[in-house]
Amino acid sequence: MHPVVESFLHAPSSTWTHLVIDSATQTAALVDPVLDFDYPSGATATDSAADVIARIRALALKLEWILETHAHADHLSSAPHIHDALGGRIAIGEGIRRVQAHFSAALNFEPGFRSDGSQFDHLFEDGERFRIGGMDARVMATPGHTRDSVSYLIGDALFVGDTIFMPDGGTARCDFPGGDAGLLYDSIHKLYELPEDMRLYVCHDYAPGGRAHRCLSSIGEQRRGNIHVRDGINRGQFIAMRSARDRTLGMPALLYPSIQVNVRGGESPPAENNGLAYLKVPLQDLARKPV
């Protein structure tokens, strides 16, 4: 199977959304859709999602699935908006329940919040198979960046979320709650067992060196050239490198707003008694320093 893949770049967050098409049945899945969000004003918009919706309608496709690779910490999901416009089941890996439990406690979510994944239409188990039109698809649990990370294997195309970046970008950080550099190494090597010509689509590309943004490589290209986890780099070396690198990184700018929306399946927190919804930023316990 060779699905047609069209990819859309959300430049403000360097995020790729992938439209996966079964041409024989005119059906499709959408991977990691993005909601426009201006943090200083709190304003959201659906301009980027509108471009994707327009393309799906222009091709007269039936959207069957809206697939999240994990609860992203760098952009907000537009899955509910896409669903309202086109239908499609919103799905994520079953590990989302552990992410929900952590952040609902850490951010003191409303008492009625459920950490059972019920905000999504479907929770995938590792190894679960599903269909997109006439195409067979399989879920691969790929934790390490986060506990809930999954990759979707659809024909000869693999959608890895943040499990790995383009070869010159390396790998994603592992210092989020539930992240683990050893698990990420194991997950990537599980992917490396796939055929070398397998198409590999990433969720983020930060265009190192100022090159053009890219989203497509192959298993073989990653094994030969990934700067963090190519052939010849062992598990201990990767853990040491990834852990040291993570200690130098600041917190993602959209971590708190993204998580509060994405663990709810892309919905905002419930409105408060004035009719407005709010996103929380926990204040750290900073010791007062003498003047």
pLDDT digits (tens, 9 = 90+) for 257-286: 999 999 999 999 999 999 999 999 998 765
Q: Is the pLDDT of residue 288 over 80?
A: no
Over residues 101-130, mean pLDDT: 97
pLDDT for the residue numbered 291: 42
Label residues 42-61 b or e (16+ Cβ within 10 Å = b).
eeeebebbeebbeebeeeeb
Predicted TM-score (pTM) of this structure: 0.95
Over residues 4-14, mean pLDDT: 97
Label residues 3-38 b or e (16+ Cβ within 10 Å = b).
bebebbbbeebebbbbbbbbeeeebbbbbbbbbbbe
Structure tokens at 224: 């030969």
Over residues 50-57, mean pLDDT: 98
pLDDT > 90: percent of the chain: 95
Among the listed residues 42, 82, 112, 69, the one whose alpha carbon sits nearest the alpha carbon of residue 256: 42
pLDDT for the residue numbered 1: 85
Q: Indicate the range of 94-98, 126-130, 203-207, 279-283 predicted with least confidence.
A: 279-283
| Per-residue model confidence as pLDDT tens digits over 57-101 | 999 999 999 999 999 999 999 999 999 999 999 999 999 999 999
Please report which confidence band the pLDDT of residue 213 belongs to, taking 50, 70 and 90 as the band edges.
Answer: very high
Structure tokens at 154: 């659809």
